[in-house]
């Protein structure tokens, strides 16, 4: 944890991270999502200039590590979902382990497939997993998630949200019980899920998460939430202060691109 710039506010000033954009597809549809490519001026999750094969990711890692000795973490954060593209994610991590066994690996996921891949995650030695979970109530979930694809079937509205929430909570509990440091990202969408956030933070704490990262909504152009206002930053801080009573809050997240490289304060 002390070498992971996202898990430790002190480490952000000493260590760099590299996101490998090897996971283009996603198995759910969030209303705030708009994955884009070739959009070098935009910085937010889901954006990347390119999608890499695991081999190209390994080659890029070798070049970057040469130039950046303080690179401590390699993460797979999209531009889609790390677990929905598991063969790519796994191969990229295996290749980088071959090149540098000391690297810390990190995944970020919507959590739908966490229980399915938990054993492989542990086997690969991944100790840091971030799950984005936004609510406990499927009625609220139906306003955030259009649909999910699970075991070859599409589920919409409340039915999809119910499965997703159950899988997220079960996955958080399972991974935490296996010794993984689980961080939960929560997108604060005013008027949609903000009233449920304190209860969600309490719940994930009970399941073993070590930290939550309550993030502002970025109303991305082209997304279904493009018309919503961005989260008020003062209200966001108040929410973090309230939830801090229950669980450690990350307050230095930069909402990085899926191909971000460097220290968190670098413009990427
Ligand atoms: Fe987009 Fe991530 Fe939601 Fe998938 S899980 S739809 S990539 S925001
Ligand atoms: Fe860390 Fe936040 Fe950037 Fe992810 S998006 S690498 S948690 S700072």
CA-proximal residue: ligand 2, atom 1 (nearest): 6
Q: Could you tell me what percentage of the chain is helix, strand and coil, using 3-state DSSP and rounding each to the nearest 5?
A: 35, 20, 45
Question: Cβ(81) to ligand 1 under 6 A?
Answer: yes
* Tokens found for residue 25: 């597809």
Q: Which of 144, 183, 192, 171 is nearest to 28 (CA)?
A: 144
Q: What is the pTM of this model?
A: 0.91
pLDDT at 43: 55
pLDDT at 42: 45
Q: Which ligand minimizes its atom distance to the CA of 132? A: 1
pLDDT at 47: 66
pLDDT at 114: 97
Listed by start position, the domains of the chain span: 11-262
Q: Which ligand minimizes its atom distance to the CA of 72? A: 2
Strand duo 145-150 + 28-30: pairing: antiparallel
Is CATH 3.20.20.70 what the domain over 11-262 is classified as, yes or no? yes
Q: Which ligand minimizes its atom distance to the CA of 6? A: 2
> Tens-of-pLDDT digits for all 268 residues of the chain?
577 887 877 777 788 889 999 999 999 999 988 775 433 344 556 667 788 999 999 999 999 999 988 998 999 988 899 999 999 999 999 999 998 999 999 999 999 999 999 999 999 999 999 999 999 999 999 999 999 999 999 999 999 999 999 999 999 999 999 999 999 999 999 999 999 999 999 999 999 999 999 999 988 888 889 899 999 999 999 999 999 999 999 988 877 777 888 888 664 4
Cα(224) to centroid(ligand 2), Å: 23
| Site residues for ligand 2, CB cut-off 6 Å | 6, 17, 77, 253-256, 264
Distance, in Å, from the CA atom of 166 to the CA atom of 53, rounded to the nearest integer, reads 32
CA 91 to chain centroid? 19
Cα(26) to centroid(ligand 1), Å: 6
pLDDT at 154: 97
Cα(6) to centroid(ligand 2), Å: 6
pLDDT at 220: 81
Distance, in Å, from the CA atom of 251 to the CA atom of 239, rounded to the nearest integer, reads 11
Cα(215) to centroid(ligand 2), Å: 10
Q: Which atom of ligand 2 is nearest to the CA of 254?
A: 8
């Amino acid at each position: 944890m002390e070498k992971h710039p996202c898990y430790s506010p002190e480490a952000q000033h000493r260590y760099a991270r590299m996101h490998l954009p090897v996971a283009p597809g996603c198995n759910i549809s969030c209303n705030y999502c708009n994955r884009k490519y070739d959009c070098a001026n935009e910085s937010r999750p889901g954006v990347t200039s390119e999608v890499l094969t695991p081999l190209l990711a390994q080659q890029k890692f070798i070049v970057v590590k040469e130039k950046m000795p303080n690179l401590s973490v390699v993460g797979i954060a999209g531009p889609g979902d790390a677990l929905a593209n598991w063969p790519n994610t796994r191969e990229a991590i295996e290749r980088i382990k071959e090149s540098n066994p000391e690297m810390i690996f990190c995944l970020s996921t919507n959590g739908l497939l966490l229980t399915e891949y938990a054993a492989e995650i542990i086997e690969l030695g991944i100790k840091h997993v971030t799950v984005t979970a936004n609510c406990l109530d499927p009625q609220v979930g139906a306003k955030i998630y259009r649909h999910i694809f699970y075991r070859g079937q599409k589920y919409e509205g409340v039915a999809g949200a119910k499965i997703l929430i159950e899988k997220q909570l079960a996955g958080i509990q399972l991974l935490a019980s296996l010794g993984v440091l689980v961080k939960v990202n929560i997108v604060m969408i005013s008027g949609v899920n903000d009233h449920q956030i304190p209860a969600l933070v309490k719940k994930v704490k009970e399941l073993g998460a070590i930290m939550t990262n309550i993030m502002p909504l970025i109303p991305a152009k082209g997304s279904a939430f493009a018309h919503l206002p961005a989260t008020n930053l003062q209200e966001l801080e108040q929410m973090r202060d309230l939830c801090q009573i229950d669980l450690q809050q990350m307050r230095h997240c930069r909402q990085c691109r899926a191909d971000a490289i460097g220290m968190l304060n670098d413009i990427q």
